[in-house]
Amino acid sequence: MEPVLAIVVGVLFAAAIYLILRRSLVKLVIGLILLSNAANLLIFTVSGFTRAAPPLVPEGLEQPVGAVADPLPQALILTAIVISFGVLAFAVVLIHRAYEVVGHDDLDQMKDTDT
């Protein structure tokens, strides 16, 4: 399972970088969305999979029996999803406003502030 997901993560990163390098604003935001999902999937993959062993403590015991799945990566991913959702919502509003103000969705038309 890990090799498959590793390849998926790689493809997601590559696609995201490709989209970010395009001139279109909309593709830029889609690239950012893919990028944050790629990172989340990376955390999930890199911390390893444990099949059918939920981290639960059986009744009457102090600690779980045998090897159990690590719940922390999922907590990290959940936090990262919430954060990236907020940030990307801002990014979507930003490109909409930028489109309204500039009148283009072409990044090459937005060079006024560059030096």
Partner 1 sequence: MNALVALPVVIPMIVGALSLALWRSLPAQRVLGVLGTGALLAASVWLLITVAREGVLVMHMGEWQGPFGIVLVADLLGAIMTVLGAITGFAVAVYSIGTVEESEEKFGYYPLLHLLLAGVSGAFLTGDIFNLYVWVEVLLVASFALLTLGGERAQMEGAIKYVTLNLLSSVLLLAAVGLTYGMFGSLNMADLSDKFAQTEEHGLITVIGMLFLVSFSIKAAAFPFFFWLPASYHTPHVAVSALFAGLLTKVGVYALFRFFTLLFDQDVGYTHNLLLWIAGFTMLTGVLGAAAQFEFRRILSFHIISQIGYMIMGLALFTPLAIVGGVFYIMHHIIVKANLFLVSGAAYRLCGTYELKHLGGLYRSRPVLGLLFLIPALSLAGMPPLSGFFAKFIIIRAGVEVSAWPIVIVALITGLLTLYSMVKIWAEAFWKATPDNAPAPPQASGPMWPLYTAIGGMALMTVIIGLWAHPIYELAHTAAEQMLDPAVYIEAVLGETR
b vs e for 17-45, b when ≥16 Cβ sit within 10 Å of the residue's Cβ?
Answer: eebeeeeebebbbbbbbbbbbbbbbbebb
Which residue of 47, 64, 68, 74 would you call a contact of partner 1, by CB under 8 A?
A: 47
Residue 48 binding partner 1, by CB under 8 A? yes
Which one-letter DSSP state was computed for residue 112?
Answer: T
State the number of CA atoms in the 13 A half-sphere of 80 facing the CB: 17
Which residue of 79, 85, 106, 108 would you call a contact of partner 1, by CB under 8 A?
A: 79
Q: How far is the CB of 4 from partner 1 (least distance, A)?
A: 17
Residue 4 binding partner 1, by CB under 8 A? no
Closest CB to partner 1 among 48 and 65? 48
Q: If DSSP codes are grouped into helix, strand and coil, which group holds residue 109?
A: helix
Residue 53 binding partner 1, by CB under 8 A? no
Q: If DSSP codes are grouped into helix, strand and coil, which group holds residue 61?
A: coil
Q: What's the CA gap between 52 and 60, in Å, rounded?
A: 21
Distance of CA 15 to the CA centre of its chain: 13
- With contacts defined by CB under 8 A, how many residues of the chain interact with partner 1? 38
Closest CB to partner 1 among 38 and 69? 38
> Using CB under 8 A as the criterion, which residues of the chain lie in contact with partner 1 when the complex forms?
20, 25, 28, 32, 35-36, 38-40, 42-43, 46-48, 70, 72-73, 76, 79-80, 83, 86-87, 90-91, 94-95, 97-98, 101-102, 107, 110-115
